[in-house]
Structure 1
Amino acid sequence: MFREQQVCYEIARILLKRFPGMANDIYLGDEQFGQSGLHLAIVHDDYETVNLLLTNHADVNARACGNFFQPEDFKLTNKITDYQGYAYYGEYPLAFAACFGNKDIYDLLIQHGANPNLQDSFGNTILHMCVINYSSSMYSYAVRHWAKPADPHVVNHAGFTPLTLATKLGRKQIFEEMLEIMKVEFWRFSDMTCSAYPLNTLDTIQPDGSTSEFGHAKCASGNSRK
């Protein structure tokens, strides 16, 4: 297998040297529209080929948005309920790297200008995709990234931040870890700690005392699914 990978890498290197524009070739058919060699290299965890493509100016923000990459419920009803899909990885190469949990490739893409806060067709960012794919370790890595920390407050097209999306999808473990990351610690004494948790996006009562119609709507939506 390793030998085959090396052969493929050498072929790619020769082709790119002769035809550098191939680094940005994409599928044009409806099913896999937008998928580039960069997406495929990430799916196969091929760091060397990812680096080769980026060196040849592959588009770090190319979007794989064909039907194959859509959530299954969207394919059937044109509506989103849970974002589950066989190949829904957030369209962008950086989102692919996050979904596959490859931190080395993630870092490499960041170094070449990838933006963790770009939103896909459904408004989801890297952090939303980590919630959807149960990847708490990658969420923590992205939100604390040394070069470009991902923004945990971005709202998707359905009105959910990564935190509120975790509540909608019932991702208990990642929800708890997200709260730990976002908490503000006031004091610590021995094994006792006093901390505040940012629940304003979850509570129907806002910090100024007003009520949030959006919050009520989310609660109603959640209750209707029980």
Structure 2
Amino acid sequence: MRLVWRRARLVERLPQTPTACSLVLAVPGWPGHLAGQHVDVRLTAADGYQAVRSYSLAAPADADRVELGVQAVPDGEVSSYLADDLPLDADVEVRGPLGNWFVWRAEEQTGPMLLVAGGSGIVPLAAMIRARRQAPPHGPWHLLYSVRTPDDVWYRDQLDGRDPGLTVQLLYTRRAPAGGPRPPGRVTAADLDAPTAGLPPGSPVYVCGPTGFVESVSDLLLDLARDPATIRTERFG
């Protein structure tokens, strides 16, 4: 399929954290996408200057609607504008869907899975979780989600424990809730041991987040004897 730039109109902005939001765009002619894919977003200034950035899709295909997750980055010319300043009903351009490796295919992957997210790396995994809820019954999933503080958790309404097929494990690196079961700190082998122990050998593990986070988690999974062919990664930064 030949990828083209399409006009996309902002129809809704949904706050997720103090510095992040979801953008719902109406994209006429959108061809659909798989959970885990991403798009390029292009902004064009009045003087013709253009900037392009990639953003993960946060929800499964829904006719001409697409939802992106945007984390405002300090001094980020595109992310800050999209997160805070792009007016409702304004147009941008999108190109996609992009990426065929870090995706979930409901008809093919029906068994247990482990999802590991760091910060805004939850976005494509949220799309998988939402797509799973629209599909026939699947094996149990476990989400291990690492964030700096409780204020940095995205998609609280999706991770509220009401999905019997999804177990959510929140880890905090800088500040944990009072009385929590684990002190703040990075993901360790002990955090991954129980979730991986219950996985069949061929079950996929999806890991998404900053480059350092993804590399660290991937190394821990290998140390726990996970088959490298089952570990799928998406990184940024």
Per the normalisation by structure 1, the TM-score is 0.28
Decide which structure has the larger Cα Rg and report it.
Answer: 1
Bigger RCO (CA 8 Å, 6+ sep)? 2
Instruction: Say which structure is richer in helix.
Output: 1
Instruction: Say which structure is richer in strand.
Output: 2
